[in-house]
């Protein structure tokens, strides 16, 4: 059975890195609303043009636009066949309610926790290669190739001013949606190396997958032993009769 995962965390928490690893191991479809919106913006679609104004200020794009975009993405067949990893959505209670209405329910909600102070350093220094999509960082992952270095871009909302606004928005949105996923939440300390975080994240997903397969059809030897013990007297009586 494909697994369906929701991941959340403040901007700069390392969701991109963890998502790459999750996709690599579990083959799920990564759906990032930030990436979808940036693509719409690059393609200069009506949605992209309306969204650009909100995005550059670090503000949320209106719910109705994002909900329609996510709904359309979930209608594609790859999502059902491979399972999904939803990143950046829901970010408000109406978005969470829309998910429930569409029957989009995660098996696991991974919440990456990183203190705000650590995020400023992580975000202000982040540069993206527009050709490969690889994200570098001036301090933590410097680019050494002069050709790539020359074309690196900074996201319009990766500034200290926009980050402050995005963090206020993040704390509001996480408070609004947290309760919806209480039963399936795994909170992971994201203020560690990517490898340490990945070990915990991937471990939690493996555990969840194992749990769901064993609860429905994985009959184990002790189950058979229990059935044999329970039904043996019944069969013995039937044979006697
Ligand atoms: P992200 O890459 O997830 O940090 O998203 C970048 C920007 O896209 C955000 O700051 C918002 O302006 C917009 N955005 C992404 N996802 C959503 C969403 N679920 N609801 C509203 N706006 C969003």
* Centre of ligand 1 from the C-alpha of residue 125, in Å: 19
Atom of ligand 1 nearest to the CA of 90: 19
Chain segment 26-54, per-residue pLDDT in tens: 999 999 999 999 999 999 999 999 999 99
| Cβ(106) – ligand 1 distance below 6 Å | no
| Cβ(54) – ligand 1 distance below 6 Å | yes
Task: Give the whole-angstrom CA distance, residue 171 versus residue 165.
Answer: 10
Active-site position among 38, 122, 126, 127: 126
pLDDT at 218: 45
Q: Whose CA is nearest to atom 12 of ligand 1?
A: 55
pLDDT at 13: 94
pLDDT at 239: 64
Q: What is the pLDDT along the chain (241 residues), one digit of tens a residue?
A: 899 999 999 999 999 999 999 999 999 999 999 999 999 999 999 999 999 999 988 889 999 999 999 999 999 999 999 999 999 999 999 999 999 999 999 999 999 999 999 998 899 899 999 999 888 999 889 999 999 999 999 988 888 888 998 899 899 989 989 989 999 999 999 999 999 999 999 999 999 998 876 644 444 444 555 556 666 666 677 666 6
* Centre of ligand 1 from the C-alpha of residue 2, in Å: 26
* Centre of ligand 1 from the C-alpha of residue 169, in Å: 10
Active-site position among 38, 41, 91, 127: 91
Backbone angles phi, psi at 6, to 5 degrees: -115, 135
* Centre of ligand 1 from the C-alpha of residue 66, in Å: 9
Whether 15 is catalytic: yes
Task: Give the whole-angstrom CA distance, residue 10 versus residue 113.
Answer: 8
Task: Give the whole-angstrom CA distance, residue 129 versus residue 148.
Answer: 7
pLDDT at 156: 83
The Cα-based distances of 150 to 122, 153, 154 in angstroms read 21, 9, 12
| Cβ(128) – ligand 1 distance below 6 Å | no
Atom of ligand 1 nearest to the CA of 33: 16
Q: Whose CA is nearest to atom 19 of ligand 1?
A: 89
Whether 192 is catalytic: no
For residue 219, give the DSSP letter. -
Say whether 13 sits in a helix, a strand or coil: coil
Residues 91 and 177: beta-carbon distance below 8 Å? yes
């Amino acid at each position: 059975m494909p697994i369906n995962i929701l991941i959340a965390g403040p901007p700069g928490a390392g969701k991109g890195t963890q998502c790459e690893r999750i996709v690599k191991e579990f083959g799920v479809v990564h759906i990032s609303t930030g990436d979808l919106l940036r693509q719409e913006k690059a393609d200069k679609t009506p949605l992209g043009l309306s969204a650009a104004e909100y995005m550059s200020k670090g503000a949320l794009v209106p719910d109705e636009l994002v909900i329609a975009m996510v709904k359309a993405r979930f209608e594609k067949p790859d999502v059902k066949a491979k399972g999904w990893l939803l990143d950046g959505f829901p970010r408000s209670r109406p978005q969470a309610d829309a998910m429930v209405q569409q029957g989009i329910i995660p098996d696991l909600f991974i919440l990456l926790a990183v203190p705000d102070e650590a995020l400023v350093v992580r975000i202000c220094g982040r540069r993206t290669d527009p050709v490969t999509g690889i994200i570098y960082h001036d301090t933590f992952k410097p680019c050494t190739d002069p050709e790539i270095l020359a074309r690196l871009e900074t996201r319009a909302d990766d500034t200290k001013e926009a980050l402050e606004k995005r963090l206020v928005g993040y704390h509001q949105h996480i408070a609004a949606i947290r309760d919806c996923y209480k039963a399936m939440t795994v909170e992971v300390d994201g203020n560690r190396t990517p490898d340490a975080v990945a070990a915990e994240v991937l471990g939690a997903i493996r555990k969840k997958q194992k749990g769901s397969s064993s609860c429905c059809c994985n009959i184990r030897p002790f189950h058979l032993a229990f059935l044999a013990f329970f039904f043996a007297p019944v069969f013995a009586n039937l044979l006697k009769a």
